[in-house]
Structure 1
Amino acid sequence: MTTITIGRVGMAFTDRHGGVSAGPYGSRNLGGAVGDDPAAVAENRAKTAAELGLDRVVFMRQVHGADVAYVTEPFGAEPPALDGVFTDRPGLALAVLVADCAPVLLADPVAGLVGGAHSGRPGTEAGVVPALVAAMTAGGAEPARMVAAIGPAACGRCYEVPAELRERVAARVPETWSDTRWGTPALDLRAGIAAQLRRAGVADVRHDDRCTIETPDLYSYRRERDTGRFAGYVWTRT
């Protein structure tokens, strides 16, 4: 697990080790909709929260969209369809589940606002990260004060896509245009998200630039298909 501390703000990116899940989900799978034993997922989530010193964690029902919401407590058994959340409640952690998509964590330590976005190919194209920055700004944050962390994701040299898809996404986010190491069309989500953040006024952008496809310690849907999900967490300490 990788952690970042910025004043009272905590951020973390988990990996696939240290949990109780078996089989292709081994072992710290935090995703509840991938076919794993629900009891194992619940234990992994509780164990991770305890290791990070967290009591309450918000998990979304991620749908590859651009809808974001302000939250004050964890959702119940059926979370709404969202790909971004933010809060000003100390001690309430926000989690973003991924396995090739980018987990993007945001914080304005002065305003006490933190947010998290699930930015895969559809979400990056739709602008979920700029939408989250805008929502947090409307809630009292200032982009110039924000710190962003883009977690592990499929890199621009591995994320192969059809040429037509590359052209369509790059028409919206030009910085995503890339080629694989073997010369075929690809998308660079990290470069695209970083550019979106800069255009939104967020200058302090930090990276855990591991490629999920190339890193066995992380889950990768493209590499494994049947697999779990790791997470990015962000919170303000009480």
Structure 2
Amino acid sequence: MAFTDRHGGVSAEPYGTRNLGGAVGDDPAAVAENRAKTAAELGLDMVVFMRQVHGADVAYVTEPFAGEPPALDAVFTDRPGLGLAILVADCAPVLVADPVAGLVGGAHSGRPGTEAGVVPALVEAMASRGAEPTRMVAVIGPAACGLCYEVPDDLRERVAERVPESRSTTRQGTPALDIRAGIAAQLRRAGVADIRHDGRCTIETPDLFSYRREQRTGRFGGYVWLQG
């Protein structure tokens, strides 16, 4: 497992420099070079990218998608050496592994995906192919924190109806969402006990891309793979 940051690539501002997102307005050649450079640094020959749409659809994969990727927000595999990439800039990249079953997966879980339950859907899909939630290790990557992620009160209450643990308040006392707490609670309810965190807040960390902080910006990645 690994999380990238915004440094070490070739993209020009405002995507400087290691933007991995192909749908944010960056030069496609720069994105392709950044993706290839990152894969090489991680020792990966092949990487699966999704067309993330803030939903809860999950797919089992054994190779990268040919052409335009389908609309998905979670993928998993049992193929060694195949990298799975989750691209974010305030949403949470969630990486899951059952080393005994030889399965790994990743989910893109922002506010809509958390509300829709993309992470529990990933755990369930992996379990359908032999993974055991009690054996799983999950890592929730950098995301907008519950003290920064301000939302309208009605939105907070709507999401909290589905995921009560996501209800939060900013430092200024305004309504907020803590998607990290919500995802952790979803994982526990799905039977996953070993939950780890890269607790950096994207809004507060200049080394990471943040849509909320910058609007026009790039995407960093969470990568997970089985060793070949």
Shift of 1:121: 0.2
Distance (whole Å) between structure 2 residues aligned to residue 234 and residue 114 of structure 1: 7
Match of 2:97 among 102, 107, 113: 107
> SS where residue 225 of structure 2 aligns?
strand
1:42-81 paired onto structure 2 within 5 Å: 42-81=32-71
Distance (whole Å) between structure 2 residues aligned to residue 149 and residue 186 of structure 1: 22
Shift of 1:123: 0.2
Shift of 1:77: 2.0
Partner of 1:127: 117
Give 5+ residue unaligned stretches, structure 2: none
Shift of 1:76: 1.7
Name the TM-score, length of structure 1 as normaliser: 0.95
Residue 15 (str. 1) matches residue 5 (str. 2)? yes
Partner of 1:173: 163
Distance (whole Å) between structure 1 residues aligned to residue 69 and residue 129 of structure 2: 22
Residue 40 (str. 1) matches residue 27 (str. 2)? no
Aligned residues: 228
The AA in structure 2 aligned to 1:156 is G
> SS where residue 154 of structure 1 aligns?
coil
Give 5+ residue unaligned stretches, structure 1: 1-10
> SS where residue 57 of structure 1 aligns?
strand
Partner of 2:190: 200
Distance (whole Å) between structure 2 residues aligned to residue 76 and residue 221 of structure 1: 28
| Identical columns (%) | 86
Partner of 2:16: 26
Distance (whole Å) between structure 1 residues aligned to residue 43 and residue 206 of structure 2: 27
Name the TM-score, length of structure 2 as normaliser: 1.00
> SS where residue 14 of structure 2 aligns?
helix
- Per-residue CA deviation, residues 167-216 of structure 1 (Å, 9 max, x unaligned), is 00000000000000000000000000000000000000000000000000
Partner of 1:8: none
Distance (whole Å) between structure 2 residues aligned to residue 129 and residue 23 of structure 1: 32
Partner of 2:81: 91
CA RMSD of aligned residues (A): 0.3
Runs of 4+ in 1 over 2 A off after TM superposition: none
